[in-house]
Chains A and B, each alone.
Chain A
Amino acid sequence: MLDEKYTIEDLHIGLKSKKFSAVEVVEKFLERIEEKDKNIFSYLLIDKEGALAQAREIDARLSKNLDFRELEGVPMAIKDNILVKDLRCTAGSKILENFMAPYDATVIKKLKEAGAIILGKTNLDEFAMGSSTENSAFGVTHNPYDFDRVPGGSSGGSAAATASFQCMGALGSDTGGSIRQPASFCGVVGMRPTYGRISRFGVIAMASSLDQVGPFGNSVADVRKFFNVLSGQDELDSTTVPKNTQPEVRKKDKDGVLKIGLPKEYFSDKLHPQVRKKMDEAIEIFKKMGAEIKEISLPTTDMSLATYYILVPAEVSANLARYDGVRYGYSSGAGNLIENYLKTRKNGFGKEVRRRIFLGTYVLSAGYYDAYYLKAQKVRTKIIEDFKRSFSEVDFLLTPITPTPAFKIGEMTKDPLAMYLSDIFTVPTSVAGLPAISVPFGKVDYENKNLPFGVQIISRWFDEDNLLDLAEKFEQFSKI
């Protein structure tokens, strides 16, 4: 059994019946990483000793018949912008190349307490800025389905590791689609919970009003298990909400029929014909599940990306001001204060990070604040109102995750704006703080390749339980 993909439930049956030990499971994963990651490069760091030590502890617990925890023995990979105590945490940046995490992020503490085993840290676009994992200072991650293509990003390492079963699940972070888009490109399940559901304490900040942590898995059931462990209020992150926070119920057309909205702006001619065809198949499946399909309109969709690319650089420029070469991280060692700032930040940050800091500094600078940042915050309100209106009519929204499947390595790197545009279907929900999930739905013929593809289901704020229920049902029906 250890040679093929299995679920947490399978793993737990095996561990409980002593078919295999936690140490054997970890050894098998380490072997698999050794064999597969040469071609994929999903891991930046593998904590062999730490993972085996955790596994031995779990085996000791099992032999003593201590209570069996939710994620007992589940080998996981962690995006390298999340702190794991005493492991290096680079954020994919030269400026943090040698930074050792002094403590665990709250999400890591929760995973460890639930019995999960941490195998290592995964590659990402520098400070999670990118859509392809090509912006990492330490190398490019390859898509497990075609090594010439990107795994998506910025959580590309976590998605690729989960897809190639070099871990059973992984953590990523999603600011504008950084969990959902790589999940779609790599054919795994990836979820962005509602803003505030999961603590970000110990997660390296990119754009604080949008950043959210979320899980990857090979099935919706596994992702639900991760989500249940990760969610909840944390006093170390004052933006988190109590675990029992409930969604608002639909007011209009309250008739008990599941209503799914198709925002027409997501089905324009920007969509690749093969993706369009696949979406039609997905819609048929939802109809078979008894859903009523309704075309709706989100007129602010086109404005969302522009809003996002004002808000994010602005917040980035503020958040990354802390990398000054004085307290931790890389320092140029230049002779005076200002020279040291200038050199440290020029040499330490990569191109995309610098570009965003410049843009953010510009839109926040005197004379431009009202025209850009304040304007974007107002449009943000309009975007939220748009979604609220649609959720008074339907329960969920169904959209593609991206206009095309995975693109080729190097294809988008020359034009930053083209790369930004690939996030067009994931950004609006991020701007509104909504939860959304990417569920794999077979393959698409694209550029003579057969590539994974995911559908996006978006729910109301804090409606993750129903979102996961629907996603799981869709997953089952799509296999029939």
Chain B
Amino acid sequence: MSNEINKDEVRRIAQLANIGLDEDETAKLQKEMESVLEYVGTLKEMNTDNTQPTSHTINLVNVSRKDAGILSGPRKNLQSIEQGKFLDQAPEKHKEFFKTHPIFVSKK
């Protein structure tokens, strides 16, 4: 893995991350990302051919419940929170809905 990133790649990453990027920031970010990637790239020196990946550090058992449509105490408490406590914080709302810009725009 090469640790070199060009400016186009930085711009592409910004787009994937949905974060706006000024042109003068691009060069600085390119340098910073390269320096961190160079550092974390040292991992390739370690042999992990027969090693399984770890996503969780402790042995977890899957938690499931009966599909009975009955909520336990803590979940019920959550459901009983007034809708307004969430909805009133939305940047824009319409009746009891969050309001957002259209996702599909028709070409007229």
Contacts and interface: CB of A to CB of B under 8 A. Distances in A.
Nearest to A324: B18
B91 A326 contact: yes
B18 A239 contact: no
B48 A432 contact: no
Contacts of B77: 103
A103 B78 contact: yes
Contacts of B37: 359, 362
Interface size class of B (residues with CB under 8 A): 35 or more
User: Chain B contact residues: over half helix, strand or loop, or mixed?
Assistant: loop
A306 B21 contact: no
Given A239-B56, A345-B18, A358-B13, A309 B32 contact: no
Please tell me the size bucket of the interface on A.
35 or more
B70 interface: no
Contacts of A357: 17, 19
A381 B53 contact: yes
Contacts, number: 175
Nearest to A194: B58
Nearest to A335: B101
B13 A209 contact: no
A290 interface: no
Contacts of B19: 342, 345-346, 349, 354, 357-358
B83 to A, nearest CB: 10
Interface of A: 98-100, 102-103, 106, 194-196, 209, 234-236, 238-239, 241, 300, 302-303, 305-307, 309-310, 317, 321, 324-331, 333, 335-338, 340-343, 345-346, 349, 354-355, 357-359, 361-363, 365, 368, 371-372, 374-382, 384, 416-417, 420, 431-434, 461
Given A236-B75, A346-B20, 20 more contacts: A195-B57, A302-B42, A303-B46, A306-B42, A309-B40, A317-B17, A325-B91, A326-B100, A329-B89, A331-B91, A331-B92, A358-B14, A362-B13, A377-B55, A378-B51, A378-B53, A382-B51, A417-B35, A417-B39, A420-B39
